[in-house]
Structure 1
Amino acid sequence: MVVSPRIEQLRRDLADGPVGGVLARFWAEVALVGTPLVEPYDDECRLVTFVWKQDQPVERVVVIGGPALWWEIPDNQLERLDGTNVWFRTYLVGADHRGRYVLSPDDSLQPLAAAGTPAAVERAAAFRPDPFNRTPFTLPGIENDPGSPPQYFSTFALDQATPRCFAEPRPDVPRGAVREAMFASEVLGNERKVWLWESAVDTSEPALLVLLDGRDWTEVLPIFPTLDNLVAEGLLPPMVAVLPDSIDFATRARELPCHEGFAHFLAEELLPWARRRTGATADPRRIVVAGKSYGGLASVFAGLRRPDVFGNVIAQSGSFWWSPPDDEAGWLIRQVDQRVPVRFCLDVGQQEGDWMIPQTKRLAAALGQYADEVLYREYNGGHDLNCWLAELPVELRWALEP
């Protein structure tokens, strides 16, 4: 186990001075600098220490997220500094890491249930954000399920992480126009909210971005300031973005995993509707379909099924492990069997586990034989909207840079 110099200094201070005063100074310092505590190690790594201030009896405290991999929960228990209210655990972490995490006092140490299930919702109710963290993050509910309870996280980004320098609104940058509408799909037989963004820089036949899971990109971590800033700096061309909502958890799980009807909805219903309202391009080379998780899977599927419409695909942490019921894993890879004039960008987090990275690499290799171009990227983080927001500008520029 790696050792934090700050925790070792605390041990020495406790041995030399009155415990109450030493602890008061330590917690005052923690409140001042924020958490997790980050200390230097070498050029490529940092020491990251998670702490918990005990204010009532607990048997254990667990950190879940960031370098504390969620499938290794028993290994992520904090240690209590004897005779104090300080619980801690230190990790050696790459200096380019970005992550989100929770603290779980008296955790059951059982594996996490599948997202969206009653067991997962009940378990998450016991998770706590870090009270000393300076960058909290709230999910209004389970992904695309507005009826579920909010989830509260803490986040951090080390000094070499991909910067999120475009994510905040800038007073000198004109904002694009945002409209909301309800869109009824005949092929899917349902209705959903759609957000339509048009850059402040006007042009004829602007480029077109379709970004799936629209609610996450508008209400949780808004993408519009990022698009405004990229266009204003000339890093992206004048463009239109159309962001369809996924309605709810059950609908998302049904429509996004390689659904023929959903691909038809995007190509034959949603895009013509967006073009009529904005004059956006019909040139596939200037159209991008992008998504994360199941949305990444849906984006690649749309590119394979409709290369006449989608010339560029961005799949962030795509769920390429998916397969239809009673079929073998890697179903999508077996659909890559003919030439497609499409460019694909596939990214995946280094903290996403052995079932995500290998599947993404295999799909990238399969696409490399038939597609116009394949860009495979890894970032040091997990299955995390915070990471996707940071990585998306690089990938949009790759797809649409003038």
Structure 2
Amino acid sequence: MPTSPRIEQLRQDLAGGPVDGVLARFWAEVALTGTPLIEPYDEDQRLVTFLWKEERPVETVAVIGGPALWWEIPGNQLERLDGTDVWFRTYLVWADHRGRYVLSPDDSLEPLAVAGTPEAVARASTFVPDPFNRSPFTLPGVAGDPVSPPQHFSTFALDQATPRDWCAPRAGVRRGVIREETVTSDVLGNERTVWLWESAVQGPEPALLVLLDGRDWNEALPIFPTLDNLVDAGELPPLVAVLPDSVDFATRARELPCNQGFLRLLTDELLPWARKVTGATSDPRRTVIAGKSYGGLASVYAGLRRPDVFGTVIAQSGSFWWSPPDEEPEYLLRQVDRELPVRFCLDVGLQEGDWMIPQTQRLADALEGYADEVLYREYNGGHDLNCWLAELPSELRWAFTG
């Protein structure tokens, strides 16, 4: 484990006593500066130290997230400083890292169960955000869905991470109009909330953005200030954004992965409705579909199947490992077999594992031979909405101005 200068200084201070006073001063400093502790190492790397203050006896404390990869939980245990209430673990991290994490006191150190299962929900209920962290983040979950409870995280961004300059509301920026509607789908036989945003800057036949998983972008990390800022600054054209909700965990897992019915919902129901209400364009060259995770998979599928509707695709951390039951992995890769007048942006996080990165690279390479343009991007982070929000502005600029 790398060595934190601040922890080494604490060891020395404790050796000189008195212990209670040294610890009180240390925790007061932590409360003032916030966590994780970030210290210099060299031009490109930083020391990042996660802390836990022991309020009751615990056998283990693990950090999950950020540089502490979730599939390596046994190796992410914090160490207790002997005779104190200080638990710590230090990582050497590239200075462009952005991440979210939780702490898990008395963690079982077992591998995480499959997301959405009762076992995974029960395990996650024992995770806690870092009480000294100053950048909390909550995924709100879905009311009434037992496998989609709210999730509370802590976040950090090192000094060279992609800035989130566009994300906060700005004084003097003209704000778009947001409508929240309930839309019934005859194709799918269900209903969902859809958010419809129109930029304050007007123009004939505004460009059109479809952004999947609308609830996340509306409630967890609202996208609308980002869109307001980009359009007001002239970085994006006059724009309409359609954000359909994914209903619940089971519906999302059924509808987003390469589902022809969901694609028909978009092309035959939502987009005609949005165009009728707003006068948005029907030109595929000015129509962009964007999604994350399963939504990234669905977005690329939409571009492959309906290039007459979607001329540009943004897929953030797409779940390109997916295949129907009893088929080989990477189903979508095998669907790239004809020339397409479509531009694709595929991004992936460097903390997403040795399967996500190669799968994304393979799909990008396959698309190169058939698509109008392919932009492959890597960022230093995980499967994380905080990262996706930071990366999306430059990807939207590429999508609408290329």
TM interval, short-chain normalised: over 0.9
Deviation at 1:144, TM superposition (A): 11
Structure 1 runs (4+) greater than 4 angstroms displaced: 142-147
* 1:251-290 aligned within 5 A: 251-290=251-290
The residue matched to 1:235 in structure 2 has which SS? coil
Q: Does 1:10 align with 2:10?
A: yes
Distance 2:128 2:335 in 1: 42
Distance 2:377 2:322 in 1: 20
Partner of 1:305: 305
The CA deviation string for residues 59-112 of structure 1, in whole angstroms up to 9 with x for no partner, is 010000000000000000000000100000000001000000000000000111
Partner of 1:326: 326
Question: Which residue identity is paired with 1:389?
Answer: L
Distance 2:266 2:344 in 1: 18
| 296-305 or 9-18, larger mean C-alpha shift | 9-18
Partner of 1:207: 207
Q: Does 1:134 align with 2:142?
A: no
The CA deviation string for residues 341-367 of structure 1, in whole angstroms up to 9 with x for no partner, is 000000000000111111000000000
Distance 1:401 1:299 in 2: 19
Distance 2:255 2:166 in 1: 31
Partner of 1:354: 354
The CA deviation string for residues 298-355 of structure 1, in whole angstroms up to 9 with x for no partner, is 0000000000000000000000000000000111000000000000000000000111
The residue matched to 2:353 in structure 1 has which SS? coil
The CA deviation string for residues 154-198 of structure 1, in whole angstroms up to 9 with x for no partner, is 000000000111111112101100001111111111111100000
**TM (normalized to structure 1)?**
0.98
Identity percentage of aligned residues: 78
Deviation at 1:146, TM superposition (A): 7.9
Are 1:196 and 1:242, in contact at CA under 8 Å, matched by a contact in 2? yes
Distance 1:142 1:162 in 2: 29
Are 1:138 and 1:152, in contact at CA under 8 Å, matched by a contact in 2? yes
Distance 1:385 1:141 in 2: 14
Q: Does 1:153 align with 2:156?
A: no
Deviation at 1:401, TM superposition (A): 2.5
The residue matched to 1:341 in structure 2 has which SS? strand
Deviation at 1:45, TM superposition (A): 0.6
Are 1:50 and 1:88, in contact at CA under 8 Å, matched by a contact in 2? yes
The CA deviation string for residues 371-393 of structure 1, in whole angstroms up to 9 with x for no partner, is 00000000000000010000000
Distance 1:200 1:57 in 2: 56
Partner of 2:399: 399
Question: Which residue identity is paired with 2:83?
Answer: G
Are 1:79 and 1:87, in contact at CA under 8 Å, matched by a contact in 2? yes
* 1:371-386 aligned within 5 A: 371-386=371-386
Are 1:185 and 1:265, in contact at CA under 8 Å, matched by a contact in 2? yes
Partner of 1:230: 230
Distance 1:36 1:375 in 2: 33
Partner of 1:92: 92
Question: Which residue identity is paired with 2:334?
Answer: R
Partner of 2:184: 184
The residue matched to 2:46 in structure 1 has which SS? strand
* Compared CA separation, residues 145 and 236, structure 1 to 2 (3 A): farther
The residue matched to 1:300 in structure 2 has which SS? helix
Are 1:368 and 1:374, in contact at CA under 8 Å, matched by a contact in 2? yes
Deviation at 1:397, TM superposition (A): 0.4
Deviation at 1:141, TM superposition (A): 2.0
Q: How many residues align?
A: 402
Question: Which residue identity is paired with 2:297?
Answer: L
Partner of 2:245: 245
* Structure 2 residue ranges without an equivalent (≥5): none
Deviation at 1:148, TM superposition (A): 3.6
Deviation at 1:221, TM superposition (A): 0.7
* Compared CA separation, residues 144 and 248, structure 1 to 2 (3 A): farther
Question: Which residue identity is paired with 1:99?
Answer: G
The residue matched to 1:399 in structure 2 has which SS? helix
Are 2:346 and 2:364, in contact at CA under 8 Å, matched by a contact in 1? yes
Question: Which residue identity is paired with 1:108?
Answer: S
- Taking only aligned residues, the RMSD between alpha carbons, in angstroms, comes to 1.3
Deviation at 1:17, TM superposition (A): 2.3
The residue matched to 1:356 in structure 2 has which SS? helix
Q: Does 1:345 align with 2:345?
A: yes
The CA deviation string for residues 193-219 of structure 1, in whole angstroms up to 9 with x for no partner, is 100000000111000000000000001
* 1:108-123 aligned within 5 A: 108-123=108-123
Are 1:99 and 1:386, in contact at CA under 8 Å, matched by a contact in 2? yes
Deviation at 1:245, TM superposition (A): 0.5
Distance 1:141 1:27 in 2: 33
* Structure 1 residue ranges without an equivalent (≥5): none
